[in-house]
Amino acid sequence: MRRPGRTTVPLFLAAAVLTVSGAGSAQAAGYRYWSFWEGDGGTGWTYATQGPSLVRPDDGTVWGFRFSVSEDSQDSAQPRRAPDFSTICAGTPPKGGTERIALVIDPGTAADAPEGERPPALRTACARVAPGSSAAEALASVATPLRYDSSAMLCAISDYPRTGCGEQVAGASGASGGPADGAAPSGDPVSAQGSDGSGGGPSAGVLTGVGAVLLLGVAAVLRARRSR
């Protein structure tokens, strides 16, 4: 019988690691939730690094909310309307002692919707609020009812969706697409929209599986050397 050579074992290891990693990727799960965005001053959006109750927007800024299914902040879908303050607040003139905050509220697509629900139309609003108000207060002034869970996570805007709150969706991989929210989401959130806005890494299951394969490979190498 031909004994395992130096090339056979490394190739086996490489194939096994790729198989385990691929399986983890195929089973990746996403979350269905409202993400929070900041207009970048031009025509694009930047994923917010703080939740809406923590942000105190300046007068003349634009903030967006987008409902979608995504795995993390790197694939989260942006609002599908440009952050154009002058257009959104064109019918709301300046007024002393108040601030104007433009909002884009995008409920997403049918692919993002929970079973049995249909997303309402995208809309924009110009919130007139007291100086120092939070983005959450601006949203509440133009889009009721809002629904939060016991941890203050934003679950629904204008009663959409009717049920659910940041639930996991198995096998999802950015259903809406988006720019290239970390792991579990939150609408006020520092779990999905944390201080660094970072995305998630490999799952613990995948890393454990890779570690086990490597240990088996090492054992195979030792056995092959002893049998020579």
Per-residue pLDDT tens digits of the chain, which is 228 residues long: 444 444 444 444 444 444 444 444 444 679 999 999 999 988 899 999 899 999 999 999 999 999 999 887 788 999 999 999 999 999 999 999 999 999 999 999 999 999 999 999 999 999 999 999 999 999 999 999 999 999 888 999 999 999 999 999 876 554 554 433 333 344 444 334 443 333 333 344 433 443 443 444 445 544 555 555
Q: Return the beta strands (E) in the chain as ranges.
A: 30-39, 45-47, 62-70, 99-106, 123-129, 146-148, 154-157, 168-169
- 3-state DSSP call for residue 10? helix
Q: Tell me, what's the pLDDT at 46? A: 96
- C-alpha 75/C-alpha 99 separation (Å) is 32
Output the CA–CA distances (angstroms, integers) from residue 77 to 2, 41, 80, 207, in the order listed.
54, 19, 8, 27
Q: Tell me, what's the pLDDT at 193? A: 46
Q: Tell me, what's the pLDDT at 87? A: 96
Q: Tell me, what's the pLDDT at 166? A: 93
- 3-state DSSP call for residue 108? coil
Output the CA–CA distances (angstroms, integers) from residue 40 to 37, 43, 87, 109, in the order listed.
9, 7, 15, 23
Tokens at 226, concatenated: 């002893």
